[in-house]
Amino acid sequence: MPPNPAHYDAASETAGDPGTLDGMQRLRTPAWIIRHVAMVVLVVGFLGLGWWQVTRAAGGNALSFGYAIEWPVFAGFVVFVWWREVRQALRAERERPAGPAPSATAGDEPVAATPAVRGPVAATPAVRRPVRVARTPVRPADGADDGELAAYNRYLSWLNANPGARPGDYPG
């Protein structure tokens, strides 16, 4: 039976809204599955090592009391890092602009340097195309050639032509 249009909430069925699991699809990629499995393996391993230290401490090894506390702290840190990464991935998905970014072509005007604000979240700054500059050798302002630079270049070319020569052998 179709829902009553007067009481139907179509917004709750759109992808990625709060209260739905659509945003969790991002966490089902192969990379995230490896992260989830690694987190579970590390936490179980660390808690197992903590229990092992508790049994050693009960047997009379006083140093194991410290390790019995340390291993569960490591497990808690793994859970903390995993939780933070999950939240960051979901937050990045929410903050991504809805539409595709306009691509710049050769005839377009340059993008403004200040980012536009869309709603409560500021958009990421626009990336500008690199400016290509033709490189030309720098000449002295008065137009005269640099004699010292020319003499040094002659010296370098002589050294290149005479690989066995010492700098003191230069005739110039």
Give the model confidence (pLDDT) of 34-70 as tens digits: 999 999 999 999 999 999 999 999 998 888 889 999 9
More confident residue, 104 or 36: 36
More confident residue, 146 or 164: 164
- pLDDT(168) > 50: yes
Give the pLDDT confidence score for residue 12 in this predicted structure. 43
**Residue 123 CB burial class (10 angstroms; 0-12, 13-18, ≥19):** middle
Confidence bin at 1 (pLDDT 50/70/90): low
Residues 16/93, Cβ–Cβ less than 8 Å: yes
- pLDDT(155) > 50: yes
Most confident option among 5-19, 63-77, 90-104: 63-77
Dihedral over Cα of 38, 42, 43, 44: its sign: positive
More confident residue, 100 or 169: 169
- pLDDT(13) > 50: no
Q: Which two tokens stand for residue 119?
A: 């709603």
Whole-model pTM?
A: 0.45
- pLDDT(10) > 50: no
What does the DSSP assignment read for 115-141? PPEETTEEPPPPPPPPPP----PPPPT
Residues 153/160, Cβ–Cβ less than 8 Å: no
Annotated domain spans of the chain: 27-94
